[in-house]
Amino acid sequence: MTTSIDAVIPDRFAKYLDRDFKMLIGGALVGATSGRTFATTSPVTETVIAHVPDGGEDDVAAAVVAADQARKGWAATTATDRAAVVRRIADVIEAHTEELAALDTLDAGSPISNARADVAMAVEHLRMFANLALEIKGTTIPASSNIHMTVREPIGITARIVPFNHPLMFACKFAAPLVAGNCVLVKPPEVAPLSALRLGELLAPVVPAGVLSFLVGDGPAVPRAIVRHPKVRRIGFIGSEATGRAIQRDAAETGVKDVTLELGGKNAMVVFPDADLDKAAAGAVFGMNFTWSGQSCGSNSRLLVHESIADQLTAKVVSEVEARTIGSPFDDNCEQGTMVSQRQYDRALEYIEIAKAEGATVLTGGGRPDGFDHGFYVRPTVLGGVQPESRIAQEEVFGPVLSIITFSDEDEAIAIANSVEYGLTASVWTQDITRAHRVIGRLEAGYTWINGSSRHFPNVPFGGYKASGVGREESIEELLSYTELKAINIML
């Protein structure tokens, strides 16, 4: 279902653009040292909505100097006091939910209801990490009659490089390193920087100067300068595999650094004949993250269906997709907004054409919805007749495109699921608990569901196998990854 829209930004959203967006460096709100700015465009209206600082190497250097001056004092702060600061951050964000959500809708095209949910999830994770502060602890080891123990210490200066699909929520990935006693440089996405820059402004009076910085620039200059700076020793990145590899190379050229990468996914949802097909259809649509126009690394973009139920399940999925409301993301009832940029819009449409050329059939969707003269909208698309080795089945689209692939038996399903270079998420749908455990155990993926999809849960570690990344997040594992482990041997 689509609803035609105009390209006017409602006043209740436009009011949040009436400000100067600045970077937070050393506790001060500043423009770029060069004085340059760049424009950010709304994917909903295709118009410029703000100008933001175009930072560069000098700005990164200033942020590192400020962090270097602050790091010892912050590390010496007790874990409970650091947790208290992070709780205050959560309170500030929660109090500004509507504003921060509106900025993400304006800047990234996400439906306002989902943008609010992102803010709520950010708050939940901030509080979770604050509550885990006292878990930053060591152990004792009975290695001899002496005393052997470990302690965990902060790393120092760390960085978080933020993707465009959940700008505010992922900007709050500073939670774990802050609680662990580190200073953090946050680099928001250049295509959607507004919510993070506003967050920096809100947090300037909350966090000690230099402990938390927000820097943005148009292009690779700022993230490269952050990654390559010798004093930035720990980096967390969410984004594409290509950029993740570039970060690994840059980091290796300037030091021995700890890098966490959450990268792409071409995730499989495997449905066996005994599954509840109504629930499976709903799970396939929910797990595809159409609400975010499929712009999620965890989307189950490959629906693997046993051939005996393929027609029945396909019909249910198509019906679910066609019932969705595409419209203005400013509307509370909108279920799907825009792609984040012209580039992502073009990419999604290109892959649909590639799939058709490879022999796939467009069962629903397949292009721009009627009545949409402005905005980077792509109809939610379901493809049938997809071959496992085709590009549409192997490569990440990062758009609202779901491919249906059939299989004849369990071994074939597992082989198809594992045939891609990625291994982020996977799900298995069956009423046979023995089969469920058996198949999950053979799938090469880091975050899995049985009879479920898409949902994340507090303190359950998220991360991928193979080209989907390195490390785990959203959990105690993430918190501890921002510490150094020191062994102490006391000779009696």
**Active-site annotation, residues:** 262, 297
Check: CB of residue 375 under 8 Å from CB of residue 334: no
> What is the radius of gyration, based on Cα positions, of the chain?
23
- The whole-angstrom separation of Cα 152 and Cα 137 is 6
Q: How many other CB atoms are there within 10 angstroms of residue 94's CB atom?
A: 16
Q: Which residues of 241-251 are buried (b: 16+ CB within 10 A; e: fewer)?
A: bebbebbbebb
Taking each helix axis from N to C terminus, what angle separates 277-287 and 310-322, rounded to the nearest 10 degrees? 50
- The whole-angstrom separation of Cα 171 and Cα 191 is 14
Q: Measured between alpha carbons, how far is residue 58 from residues 64, 160, 187, 230 in Å?
A: 10, 18, 14, 14
Amino acid letter, 300: N
- The whole-angstrom separation of Cα 188 and Cα 62 is 17
DSSP symbols for 415-453? HHHTTSSEESEEEEE-S-HHHHHHHHHHS--SEEEES--
DSSP symbols for 126-156? HHHHHHTGGG----B--SSSSEEEEEEEE-S
402 by DSSP, 3-state: which?
strand
Residue with tokens 């390193």: 177
Residue 143, Cβ density class (10 Å: 0-12 exposed, 13-18 middle, ≥19 buried): exposed
Check: CB of residue 122 under 8 Å from CB of residue 169: yes
Q: What are the φ/ψ torsions at residue 211 (nearest 5 degrees)?
A: -70, -35
Segments in 15-110 forming alpha helices (H): 57-76, 79-95, 97-108
Q: Measured between alpha carbons, how far is residue 322 from residues 237, 331, 381, 417 in Å?
A: 35, 19, 9, 26
Residue with tokens 């009975």: 142
Check: CB of residue 269 under 8 Å from CB of residue 305: no
Q: How many other CB atoms are there within 10 angstroms of residue 307's CB atom?
A: 12
| CA dihedral sign of residues 467, 469, 471, 474 | negative
What is the greatest pairwise CA distance in the chain? 80
**87 membership: H or E segment, kind and range:** helix 79-95
